[in-house]
Amino acid sequence: STASTTFTLDTATAAPVVALSSDSGSSGSDGITNVGTLAISGTEAGATISYSTDGGTTWTNSFSAVEGDNSVIVRATDVAGNTH
């Protein structure tokens, strides 16, 4: 007797592209804004987005900007569990 199976091997995910949702400073690319939300694109359908504001030690599923300088790492995890 024989058996067969079909499957999809998924070992990589696309890196997220991160930008300010609105760069309202004197230049459209100066990184100064009065709107503290991010626009995330370039991820696979169904990917989960995580954010870290402490260099990657702690990850959360949301990001809230604070007054002043902000530094955030964005991570995408696809449905197969691959992270980038």
Domain spans of the chain?
A: 11-84
Distance CA 40, CA 19 (A): 7
Q: Please write the tens of the pLDDT for every residue from 24-42.
A: 989 988 999 999 999 999 9
Counting Cβ atoms within 10 Å, is residue 34 exposed (0-12), middle (13-18) or buried (19+)?
A: exposed
This prediction's pTM: 0.84
Distance CA 78, CA 57 (A): 20
pLDDT score, position 48: 97
